[in-house]
Structure 1
Amino acid sequence: MSILNSLSLAIDLATRKKDQAVMVLQHLQRMHEANQNQMGQLESYAAETEHKWAVTAQAGSTPELMGHHYQFMARLHHAISLQQDVLGGSAQKVEAARRLTMDGELRLASLRLVLKKKKADLGQLQGRREQKQMDEFAAVQSRRMLNLN
């Protein structure tokens, strides 16, 4: 019976690890979505600013104003490229967490299969023991009947 207790303990531990991996995955997915939203906001802001600048530039602008605009846009595009790096990093973390979660689920499933097999094996063993006892009991009864006659 200790093998069943050991397997149950291993299943409990594997379940906790898998649940923890799922929580980490969900957290990382939320962070990745936040990073994607921030990227979308930066890109929208850059497109909106370019559009406004195009309208303003047609009305006339000074070289100094144009310089400020180009400098601002360069900084904005730099921020976008930094956010792309952040987004790539968060995507890698999500994928790693997804793999860990799948590994945990596979381990848990395999432990459950082993437990099921062990229970079946013990059930068969118990059945054989009971059959042996019944056979021995029948043999004893048969001998008693023969001795009485």
Structure 2
Amino acid sequence: MPKFRALELAIEQSTQQRDAQARKHAQAQKTLQFAQGQLQQLQSYSNDTDARWVGGHSVNLSVELIRHHYQFMDRLQHAATQQMGVVANLERQLATAHQALLQAEYRLAAFKQVLKGRRMEQQVVQQRREQRATDEFAAMRHFRDRADRNTQEHV
């Protein structure tokens, strides 16, 4: 109906915006999961390396080898700390994307609700018109039947 075309266009545009926000949200989730996986790998590798070092090399190690191990573990821990920062940043981005998606969904739902309400209003108006026409037709028929009876009685 041309009467509701503006609302239908708004719903169409809101649907497209919601879908775009949903894609951004899904991408943010995927990116976060990947970053969390990398962090998990770094932490596992660090724990495994420490366990191997403590379990297998506890006797007669040179100072140079021990220093090298501690430097390596410091770098590994630094990388894990940086990755934690990346994960925290990605979590904030996901929360922002989630909020944007919710807002887009609310906007779309609001437009749909307005359209539904307007269609219901139009339906009520149409039903009233039909009822009015039916009532007028019934009244005219009643008066015509009455006039016919009066005419027949006078004849």
What's the C-alpha RMSD, in Å, of the aligned pairs? Answer: 1.7
- Please say if 1:81 is aligned against 2:81: yes
TM-superposed CA distance for 1:22, in Å, is 0.9
- Please say if 1:117 is aligned against 2:117: yes
Q: In structure 1, list runs of 5 or more residues that go unmatched.
A: none
Aligned residue number for residue 106 of structure 2: 106
Give, in whole Å, the separation in 2 of the partners of 1:85 and 1:32: 12
Aligned residue number for residue 58 of structure 1: 58
Q: In structure 2, list runs of 5 or more residues that go unmatched.
A: none
Total equivalences in the alignment: 149
TM-score by length of 2: 0.87
Higher mean C-alpha displacement, 11-20 vs 84-93: 11-20
Aligned residue number for residue 49 of structure 1: 49
Equivalent residue letter for 1:70:
Y
Determine which structure has more spread, i.e. the larger CA radius of gyration: 2
TM-superposed CA distance for 1:142, in Å, is 4.3
TM-score by length of 1: 0.90
Equivalent residue letter for 2:117:
K
Identity in percent: 33
Higher mean C-alpha displacement, 105-114 vs 50-59: 50-59
- Please say if 1:7 is aligned against 2:7: yes
TM-superposed CA distance for 1:146, in Å, is 5.3
Equivalent residue letter for 2:46:
A
Give, in whole Å, the separation in 1 of the partners of 2:95 and 2:32: 11
Equivalent residue letter for 2:26:
Q
Equivalent residue letter for 2:91:
A
